[in-house]
Amino acid sequence: MGKERDGEGQERPTVSLSPSAEFPPLSAPDLEALRRLGDQWRVDESARALPVDPELRPTGPGAAHPRAPNEEFRPDQPGELTTTPAAEQPDTDVGRLAVRIRRVLLGPPLSSGSVLRERMRKLIALPILSSDLLSSVAYGPEALLTILVLAGTAALGLSLPIAGALVVLMLAVGASYRQTVRAYPHGAGSYLVVSDSIGPRAGLTAAIGLILDYVLTVSVSVAAGIAAITSAMPALTPLAVPLSLLVIAALLTGNLRGIRVAGNIFAAPTYLFLIAIGGMTLVGLTQAAARGFTVAPAPPVPATETLGVLLIARAFASGATSMTGIEAVSNAVPALRPTEWRNARTLLTWMVSILILLFAGLMFLVHLNGLAPRANETLLSQLAHRTFPHGPWYGIIQAATALILLLAANTAYNDLPRLLYFMARDAYVPRRFLHMGDRLALSNGLITLSIASAVILTAFGGRTQSLIQLYAVGVFLAFTLSQVGMVNHWRRHREPGWRRRAAINAFGAVLSAIVLVTAAITKFASGAWVVVVAVPVLVVLCLRIRRHYDRVRQAVSLRPAPTQLPSEKSERDMTQEFLPQRVRHLLVVPVARFDQTTLRALAYVVSLGQPSLAVHVSPEDQEADRLRDEWTAWGDHIRLEIVVSPHREILEPLAQYIGQLHERSPDLTLTVVIPEVVVDHPWQKVLHSRIEHRLRKALRRLPGVVITSMPVQVSDDSHHPSR
C-alpha cells in the first residue's frame, strides 16, 4: 500500500518509500564543494596499478581458485558487479542456519526493483482501510458500558444518550478528515499534516501519539480477537496470553514476508464481519419489533461508584475507542486510483456511515436486551447468543469478529513502519528504520512494533478492557493536532470558502480535544498516565536523537557550518586535512614480546615506508633491559621507546603516551598498529588479555589517531578450518 509511480517519486518525495533512502544523494552545494576539493588532490599513479583484478574476472583454469569467480558476483558493467544470493551467505555455520530458517519462513529475497507500486480499487480499499475502524465496534460499546455499570444497573440507561453524543463526534471527525484528504491529496498522515501546518514539534507529538496508538491497536485488537475466540470456547481462556503472542508472531512473520502482495484476500473478513453484524442487527431488531420493543431488565449489578459527571465523561471517552482507525484513509490517499482525493472522500463517507449504523444498531440492541458486561464473555458474544440461540450463526459471528480484529491489527503493521520510515528520514528515530529488509519490508519497524505490543499485552495479562484504558489518549492527541493543523492550513491559504472549512475542522478539533482531555483525566489513574508520561518523554527522546544526527551530519559535512564555533574548522583548514599530499604519517607499534604477531606488525609498518616507532610498556627495569637486548639481537631496525610502568598498568600509560605524541604534533596522522589474536570460540576470549580491544577503545577518543588491527587467526585444527 501507499507507493507512488516511479515518475512521480521525484516530485513528491514525502510519501514514497525507496530502498536507497539510507544513501541520500549529495546536494548541489555539497557536490560543488566536493569538486573543488577533488581538484586539489595529487595522486600518485601507482595507486591505480592494482595487484589484483577488482572485477574478479576468471584467470586461466578455474581450478586455481577454490570457488568459481562468478558464483557470488556476476559482472554488470565495467567497474560494477552484482551479487548473487551466494554472496549474502554469512561466513559461519550459525549464520548460515539462521539464513536457511529465514528463507523457509519468509521466502526468497526480493530485489530492490520489485517495490510494490500498485493502486487499490475502492471495493478493495474499503475493506482493507476500514478494518481498523469497523472492528472497533467489537470493543468500543463494551468499553462504554463497562464504565457505566460501575454506577450500578440503573446507570446503563444512560448508554443511549452517550452513544448519541459519540455519533455526533463520529460525524464531526469524519467531516473533518474529508477536508484533510482534500487538502493533502498526496498523503495526509497526521505526522506530515501537522508538521507542515503547525510545526515540526507538533508533528512529532502527533506522530508519537500515533505510534502509541498503533502499538495499542495491535495489543487491543489481538486481545479482543482472542477474547472473541475464548468467549466461544471458554476452555481456551487460560491460554489467552500465549495465543495472543502466537498471533503477534504470525502477524510479524506474515508482514516480514510481505503479505501485502496478497492483500486482496484481506477483503473477505471485513465483508464477512459487515454481513454478520449487519445481519445480527437486523434479526435482533426484527425480534425486538416482535416483542413490541420492550426493554429487558438488565441483571442486577451493585454500584461501586456514584454516577456523576466524571463517570459519564469517562464512559464517553471509553466509548470513543469505537472510532479508532478513522484516520486510515487519510494515510493511504496515494494508494488509491485517480482521482485519489475524490475516491478517498467517497470511501471515508462510506466508512463513517457504516460505522455509525453498526455502532448505533449494536448499542440499541444491547439496551433492548438488557445486557451488561461480563468478565468471561464479550458483550458481542452475549448479544449473538441472545439473538441466535441455535444454529451456526453464533459461531460465524464470533469467527468474523476475531478475523476482522486480527486484520485491524494488521493495519498497524502496514502503517507504523511507514511512519517510522518518514520519521527516520527526518532523523527523529534511528536511521535503521529506513532499511528495507530482504523482502522489501521495513523489517525493523515491524519487529519493534511486535516487541512493543507483545510486551504491553503481556504486562496487562491480555485483558482488553484494561488495555483500552491506555488507548484513547494517543489516538485523540493525533486527531486533535491533525485538525488544529487543518485549521491553520485553511487560515494560511485562505482559499475560497476557507472559513466554512476551518469551522468544520475547528468543530472536529474541539470535540477531539474534549475527548482527549476527558480521557487523560478520567482514565489517568487506571492506565492513561502511562501515555501521558510517555508522550513527552518520547518527544524529548526524538528531539535528542535529531540533535545527535544533526551534530553528526555537521561534523562530517563536506562544507563547514555557516555559523562557525571557534572549535570548528574553516573550509581552508578542512581542505588541508583532506589533501593526501599534506598527510604526514607516524606509525606506532606497541610491542609486548617478540613473536610472529609482533614481527608481522613490524614488517607491515616498515613496508609502508613511513616513519615508524615501536613502544614497549614494561613492568620493571629488568624486563625492559631484557627486551632491549632482544631488540638489539633482532637488529634494531625500528626506533624503540620503552615506557617503564612500575605499577604494572599497561593500557593507560600506552594510551597516554600515544596521546602525548598526538598533542605534540596534532597535524600528524598517528597510526597505531595492534596485533590481535583471533580465537575460534567465544569462551577462549577470557584466556587473552584483550588489551587490543581495550586499547582501541581508549584510542578511539583521540582525534587524528588511526587504529590498525592485524588479526592473527588461531584455529583449533579439529574444528572448522577458516573458510
Q: Which residues ranging from 392 to 411 are in contact with a second copy (CB under 8 A)?
A: none
CB nearer a second copy, residue 328 or residue 698: 698
Segment 647 to 666, residues that bind a second copy, using CB under 8 A: 647-649, 652-653, 655-657, 659-661, 663-665
Among 89, 306, 339, 570, indicate the residue that binds a second copy (CB under 8 A): 89
- Amino acid identity, residue 590? P
721 binds a second copy (CB under 8 A): yes
CB-based contacts of 290, cutoff 8 Å, min separation 6: none
Q: Does 68 bind a second copy (CB under 8 A)?
A: no
What distance in Å separates the CA atoms of residue 722 and residue 599, rounded to the nearest whole number? 22
* 664-683 footprint of a second copy as x/- string (CB under 8 A): xx--xx-x----xxxx----
Query: 7, 44, 290, 302: which one contacts a second copy (CB under 8 A)?
Result: 44
How wide is the angle at C-alpha 657 spanned by C-alphas 706 and 590, nearest 5°?
Answer: 60
Q: Which span (26-34, 144-152, 172-180, 210-218) binds a second copy, by CB under 8 A?
A: 26-34
- Residue 39: exposed, middle, or buried by beta-carbon count in 10 A (0-12, 13-18, 19+)? exposed
Grid cell digits, residue 643:
615506557
Concatenating the DSSP letter of every residue in 534-560 gives HHHHHHHHHHHHHHHHHHHHHHH-SS-
Give me 531's grid cell. Answer: 501515555
As a whole number of angstroms, the distance between CA 515 and CA 473 comes to: 8
Site residues for a second copy, 410-469, by CB under 8 A, read 430-432, 435-438
Pattern of binders to a second copy over 692-711, x per CB under 8 A?
A: ----x-xxxxxx-xxxxxxx
Q: How far is the CB of 119 from a second copy (least distance, A)?
A: 22
Min CB(310)–a second copy separation in Å: 40
Closest CA to 371 of 138, 161, 149: 149
Copy the grid coordinates of residue 334.
496515494
Does 27 interact with a second copy (rule: CB under 8 A)? no
User: Binding string to a second copy for residues 608 to 627, with x set by CB under 8 A, is what?
Assistant: xxxxxx-x--xxx-xxx-xx
Q: Are strands 80-83 and 639-644 parallel, antiparallel or unpaired?
A: unpaired
Amino acid at 685: K
Rule CB under 8 A: say whether 107 interacts with a second copy: no
Cβ proximity to a second copy: between 97 and 303 the closer is 97
* Under rule CB under 8 A, residue 101 binds a second copy: no
Q: Given the C-alpha cell 466508512, which residue does it identify?
A: 351
299-328 residues in contact with a second copy (CB under 8 A) are none
- Should residue 28 be labelled a site residue for a second copy when binding is judged by CB under 8 A? no
CA dist., res. 691 & res. 259, Å (int): 49
Residue from 10, 294, 563, 722 in contact with a second copy (CB under 8 A): 722
Q: How many residues bind a second copy (CB under 8 A)?
A: 175
Distance separating alpha carbons of residues 517 and 546, to the nearest angstrom? 29
Pairwise CA distance, residues 333 & 182, whole Å: 10
Q: Which is nearer to a second copy, 389 or 721 (CB)?
A: 721
Q: Which of 88, 118, 495, 573 binds a second copy (CB under 8 A)?
A: 88
Check residue 8 for interaction with a second copy (CB under 8 A).
no
Judged by CB under 8 A, the chain residues 522 through 581 that form the site for a second copy are 545, 547-549, 551-552, 555-558, 565, 567, 574, 577-581
**What angle do the packed helices 529-556 and 464-493 form, to 10 degrees?**
50
User: Is the CB of 113 or the CB of 389 nearer to a second copy?
Assistant: 113
* Closer residue to a second copy in complex, CB, 168/714: 714
Query: What residues numbered 126-185 form the site for a second copy, per CB under 8 A?
Result: none
CB-based burial label for 71 (10 Å; 0-12, 13-18, 19+) = exposed
Report DSSP state, residue 585.
E
Residues 121-144 as b or e (16 or more Cβ within 10 Å = b): eeeebbbbbbbbbbbbbbbbbbbb
CB of 433 to a second copy, least distance (A): 11
* E strand or H helix at 172: helix 159-183
Rounded distance, CA 131 to CA 411, Å? 8
User: Which triple of cell numbers denotes residue 53?
Assistant: 583484478
| CB of 668 vs a second copy, minimal distance in Å | 6
Query: Given candidates 120, 501, 645, 695, which one binds a second copy under the rule CB under 8 A?
Result: 645
Residue 54 interacting with a second copy (CB under 8 A): yes
By the rule CB under 8 A, 38 interacts with a second copy:
yes
Q: Does 63 bind a second copy (CB under 8 A)?
A: no
Tell me if 500 contacts a second copy by CB under 8 A: no
Under the criterion CB under 8 A, does residue 719 sit at the interface with a second copy? no
| Residue nearer to a second copy on the CB measure, 118 or 550 | 550
